[in-house]
Amino acid sequence: MGESIRIEQVAFTYPTGIRALRGVSASISPGEAVAIVGENGAGKTTLARHLNGLLHPTSGHVLIGDWDTSKHTVAQLATRVSYSFQNPDDQIFERTVRAEVTFGPRNLGFSADEMESAVQDALSQVGLLSEIDHHPYDLQLSQRKLLTLAATLAMRTPIVILDEPTTGQDAPGVRRIAEIVEHLKAASHTLITITHDLDFAAEHFERVIVMAGGLIIADGPAHDVLAQESTLAAALVDPPQMVRLALALGFDSIPLTPEEFVLALKNKSGRSS
């Protein structure tokens, strides 16, 4: 189901002269789940917008499967990559929830039946099926965020990019998004998220890319990258809570979740007794 991504020496300068990317390279295999972290302005969203062709590199190349993004239109790339915006209000434009979610599948040429099932599926996954005939702006901000997520899911693309998916969500909302992430992973989509929520990244993404100042400064398994205090400090990112706790308590192995923490605690007390 997934598709590969190759980012080759990509630099990008906005028309305003801001150099948002200063030569980044990464290779993502089909079915990988990658979290991109870093402070505001590190270049995370700029990089993500290169993956669906909203931006083209000033130099370097981005390949989605065998397609160079500079040689394909955004519409073509939309068959392979869907992108859920950070601010839902930058994305929503239709008058009903149904129309908003149907827009992607319709433009991808889904049959009427496929379209209906994609829309129903996506809305039920985000818990908005009961709002299907409502105006998007009658929803709360956190629900509008879920709506944009549904619009992305309905496109059923091999690559899914979620920009700050947990923003503004309460605990049940975060749990729902976590379930969707796990579902996408199980279906072998290539999944990329941009997030400030390192605890969320730690719990659901196997690979973490750290960006700072338009560069990738670390890229590897979550367990390795999220335990690198100095790298995270350089990116002005705080390690996940469990990592901070384990480091403060002098653990050798670094847990990423409360469950892993308790396991590490058990091993530690097992050894010392």
Partner 1 sequence: MIDVQNLSFSYAGFPGMALRGITLAMPKGQLCSIVGPNGAGKSTLCYALSGFIPHFYRGVLKGTVRVSGLDVAESSLGELAGAVGIVVQNPFNQITGARFTVFEEVAFGLENLGVPRDEIISRVAESLALTGLDSMHDQSPFALSGGQQQRLAIAAMIAMRPAVLILDEPTSQLDPIGTREVFGVLRRLAADQHTTIVLVEHKLEWVAAYSDRVIAIVRGQIVADGTARDVLTSDLIEEIGVGSTRLTRAARLARAQKLVDSQAALPVTLVQTIDFFEQKDR
In the complex, which residues of this chain contact partner 1 (CB under 8 A)? 39-41, 86-87, 89, 140-143, 167-174, 196, 198-199, 236-238, 240-242, 244-245, 248-249, 257-259, 261-262, 265-266, 269
Task: Output the smallest distance, CB 241 to partner 1, in A.
Answer: 5
Question: What gap in Å lies between CA 238 and CA 31, rounded to an integer?
Answer: 27
Question: What gap in Å lies between CA 15 and CA 141, rounded to an integer?
Answer: 31
Angle at 40 between CA 12 and CA 100, to 5 degrees: 80
Closer residue to partner 1, CB minimum distance, 75 or 262: 262
Question: What gap in Å lies between CA 121 and CA 268, rounded to an integer?
Answer: 45
Task: Output the smallest distance, CB 248 to partner 1, in A.
Answer: 5
Task: Output the smallest distance, CB 198 to partner 1, in A.
Answer: 8
Q: Which pair of tokens denotes residue 202?
A: 């730690």
Task: Output the smallest distance, CB 236 to partner 1, in A.
Answer: 5
Closer residue to partner 1, CB minimum distance, 145 or 189: 145
Question: What gap in Å lies between CA 221 and CA 206, rounded to an integer?
Answer: 6
Closer residue to partner 1, CB minimum distance, 224 or 238: 238
The phi, psi pair for 112, rounded to 5°, reads: -55, -45
What does the DSSP 8-state code read for residue 238? P
Task: Output the smallest distance, CB 235 to partner 1, in A.
Answer: 10
Closer residue to partner 1, CB minimum distance, 7 or 246: 246
Q: Which pair of tokens denotes residue 24?
A: 């980044």
Report helix, strand or coil for 40. coil
Closer residue to partner 1, CB minimum distance, 7 or 194: 194
